[in-house]
Chains A and B, each alone.
Chain A
Amino acid sequence: MIAEAGLAALWLAAGLAALQLVLMIAALRADLGAARTMQSIAAVQGGLTLIAFAMLLIVFARTDLSVALVFENSHSAKPFIYKVAGAWGNHEGSMLLWVTVLSVAGAFLALLSRRTSQRTLVAALGAQAALALGFYAFLLIASNPFARLNPAPFEGRGLNPLLQDPGLAFHPPTLYFGYVGLSIAFSLAVGALLTGEVDSRLARAMRPWVLGAWILLTLGITAGSYWAYYELGWGGYWFWDPVENASLMPWLAATALLHSINVLAARGALKAWTMMLAVIAFSMSMVGTFLVRSGILTSVHAFAIDPERGTFLLALLAIYVGAAFGLFAWRGASLKEGAPFELVSRETGLVINNLLLSVILAIVFVGTLYPLFVEAITGEKLSVGAPYFNAVAGPLALMLALLVGIGPLLAWRRERRPMFKQLTVPALLGVSALVFTIILAPGMHILPRLGLMVAAYLAAASVLPLIGRSPFRAPLATWGMVVAHFGIAVALTGMAMNAAFTSETLAIAKPGEILSAGPWHVQLQDVTPTAGKNWTALEATLKASRGEGLVTLKPQMRYFTDPPTETNEAAIDTFWNGQLYTIVGKADPNGGWQLRLWWKPFVTLIWAGGALIALGGALALLGHLRRLLRRRREPNWRGRYA
């Protein structure tokens, strides 16, 4: 009954979405006062998808094997938390989660939005309903999560053991919330293009959504990167894999949008560009979902390949993005550009920021899809790897980081003060970092060297907006910006350190043998069997020392029984100045064991930086929301704040 209840809730929600779309068209044509009705419909629709998702959680929690999806992806011996997480660790479940977030976000838009005009809200709710309708159709026609099996089997087929990890249980939902949060920006942009009300009011209504989605994307990408780092046992944090790029592209677009939206909110400028970015940001989310779910590109993330689903998703993508771009082409001419600005101004700074981010986005997009196009034209198969992305996007990212230090110091419209005095200390820091690296590590590669220089400069430059005024009276949004920009410097330091100073040892060692990695001496003590709830493992005991103290690491090679899979469980020890990362591999016929050791100085700064960037976003969001609440309490407020 539970599965059927979930399915019924989905059908009802789809019906309501269709009604919502029809009402929007009617309301825009005949000027009907449909806003109230549509708000209620959107709220009920959100509630229904929540019910459907709850039903899926219940069948997974109970391991109801008569549901095909549970049989395929679960097992009675699996730990409870992963039984529940299994609900979204597969294609159908994750698409249901996607739709749930989409319509719950639509419900919140309907209930919370007081800032846009009624007409734009109606148009945006209609656009959101159109989006939801397509994805309901996708679920109900091509990937029903509630399909039954008769007779019910006795045992499930387990879950990919790589997914039995807290990091992965929560990293995809975080990304999904981010992806789908951008749908609100998309719908608001489409709504505003329809009604022609592209103004600073719209930008302020859109900003919390973009910020919220961007925070979650940042967290999701950071967590995913750490997960790949410790779980896959490759010792790297970013592989430029198509699926990783799929999450990076919406983030890049959302980052650009986040900055251009401020220009629109404060100065009423960059109207067409901001609308375009809002459309592109969610389009990139859909492209990402399509790339991941259609299996069109070969990736280390082995998802099931299904051309029918791929075609369906591609059709949705073509309809939505095509409609939005078409609308842009049709209505774009009526957008008047806002207040003018001079060459040296914050607006210019943000325009350059947007250009650089867009070029990086284009580079990632082209790099991800290039193999496909080469094959279409010449028939040759190839793959684009890290060297391309690092060499092409790296220098641009460094230029962007240089600009991050300057932009926030510029005044809106026209900057009259001489800038360079303020930047003396950061510039000196950058130069001394450069000199240090030349003296201490003459053989260092150019990109990490410049990375350390820019990071040192940016760490100082990013806090300048708080200097010269009482820091605790600065608005929360300013604090957020400072923290996020400082986070970039922190992450950059980690990346450059990791690129330049990692030491790696791969060797076959017999018990008792000592290997070295960087400053560490690591002794293999022995290798013993051990077991968990649904796996057995060979566990190596390593004693590591670098002069003083002794630490023990226990990397494992795990064998999961159902389905039979081997995974490497890295043992990682974190110190203030880096991580010791160890992997044990196969046995050698002569009684030795493959050991892989890395000493990675300051590598944790990469994720700490990512977390700081997200924290900065959260502070800014808090600031904007607080201002919003305060304004609501003052009914007579009129456009005082810019």
Chain B
Amino acid sequence: MSRAVRFAPLALLLLVLAGLVWRLARPSDSTVPSKLEGKPVPVFALAPGIASKPSLSSSDLATGRPHIVNFFASWCVPCITEVKLLQQLKERGVSIEGIAVRDRPEDIGDFLARNGDPYERIGSDDQSRVQIAMGSSGVPESFIVDGRGIVRYQHIGAIEVSDVPMILSKLEQAG
């Protein structure tokens, strides 16, 4: 048996080990960054989610200042606590747009009356089409969109108090 053949397994092993060591040495980061970050928001125009507010379309986002686009639903329990925090963000001057996923106007009205209403506009995404186009898989989820309508950040799950400084700095970067 030639020398090359005899040493091949050892060489292959070293290669695999090098890869595994590299992977172990890195801090484990299981979050997959959104593929949409750095890309424009997909084009959409939604029906109004509630009669008393304007509806939302993608053109409403490219207005020169950053927005938070928040996917929520009246049937979503974590959204109740999140919407109160969004209210505080609004009071600090952040513009927040809502997209109600698979919801009904009367339920949205009840939800906002009970928990507060931070939204400038609310679109109704009754078939989850926009949600899927944005690469979102559940509610609540929030996107930071900059003044040119480009997605800068995707936040999966409810925004918690501890996330607020990070959200504000992302907004600042986007602005």
Contact = CB atoms under 8 A, between A and B. Distances in A.
Interface of A: 272, 276, 280, 290, 294-296, 298, 305, 307, 310-311, 314, 317-318, 321-322, 325-326, 328-329, 332-333, 335, 369, 372-373, 375-376, 381, 589
A375 to B, nearest CB: 8
Q: Report whether over half of chain A's contact residues are helix, strand or loop; otherwise say mixed.
A: helix
Nearest to B7: A329
Contacts of B19: 369, 372-373, 376
B20 interface: yes
Interface stretch (B23-31, B51-59, B81-89, B158-166): B23-31
Given A295-B28, A321-B13, A381-B32, A372 B20 contact: yes
A328 B28 contact: no
A376 B23 contact: yes
B79 to A, nearest CB: 15
7 contacts: A294-B24, A295-B28, A317-B17, A328-B9, A329-B7, A373-B19, A376-B19
A272 B6 CA distance: 9
Nearest to A276: B9
Interface in B1-60: 1, 3, 5-7, 9-10, 13-14, 16-17, 19-24, 28, 30, 32
B16 A307 contact: no
B75 interface: yes
Contact of B21 (A295, A314, A381): A314
A296 B23 contact: yes
B1 A332 contact: yes
Nearest 6 pairs of A and B residues by beta carbon: A325-B10, A332-B6, A329-B6, A325-B9, A329-B7, A310-B24
B28 A305 contact: yes
A362 to B, nearest CB: 10
B1 A369 contact: no
A373 B16 CA distance: 9
Given A296-B20, A296-B23, A314-B20, A322 B28 contact: no
B17 A314 contact: yes
Given A296-B23, A329-B6, A318 B17 contact: yes
Contact of B30 (A272, A290, A298, A589): A298
A295 B28 CA distance: 9
A564 to B, nearest CB: 14
A186 B7 CA distance: 18
Nearest to A589: B75
A272 B1 contact: yes
Contacts of A325: 9-10, 13
Given A305-B28, A328-B6, 7 more contacts: A296-B24, A298-B30, A318-B13, A332-B6, A369-B16, A375-B23, A381-B32
B28 A307 contact: yes
Contacts of A294: 24
A333 B1 contact: yes
B21 to A, nearest CB: 7
Nearest to A291: B20
B171 to A, nearest CB: 26
Nearest to B16: A369
A566 to B, nearest CB: 15
A307 B22 CA distance: 12
A326 B10 contact: yes
A329 B23 contact: no
A429 to B, nearest CB: 41
Contacts of A305: 28
B81 to A, nearest CB: 18
Looking at B9, B13, B14, B32, which has the most chain A CB atoms within 10 Å of its CB? Answer: B9
Looking at A318, A325, A381, which has the most chain B CB atoms within 10 Å of its CB? Answer: A325
Contacts of A589: 75
A418 to B, nearest CB: 35
Nearest to B28: A305
B103 to A, nearest CB: 10
A272 B5 CA distance: 11
A321 B14 CA distance: 10
Contacts of B75: 589
A373 B22 CA distance: 9
A314 B20 CA distance: 8
Nearest to B10: A325
Contacts of B5: 332
Contacts of B22: 376
A42 to B, nearest CB: 28
Contacts of A372: 19-20, 23
A364 to B, nearest CB: 14
Contacts of B3: 333
B170 to A, nearest CB: 21
Contacts of B14: 322
Contacts of A307: 24, 28
A154 to B, nearest CB: 30
Contacts of A272: 1
B24 A311 contact: yes
Contacts of B20: 290, 296, 314, 372
Given A307-B28, A314-B17, A335 B9 contact: no
A300 to B, nearest CB: 13
Nearest to B102: A589
Nearest to B22: A376
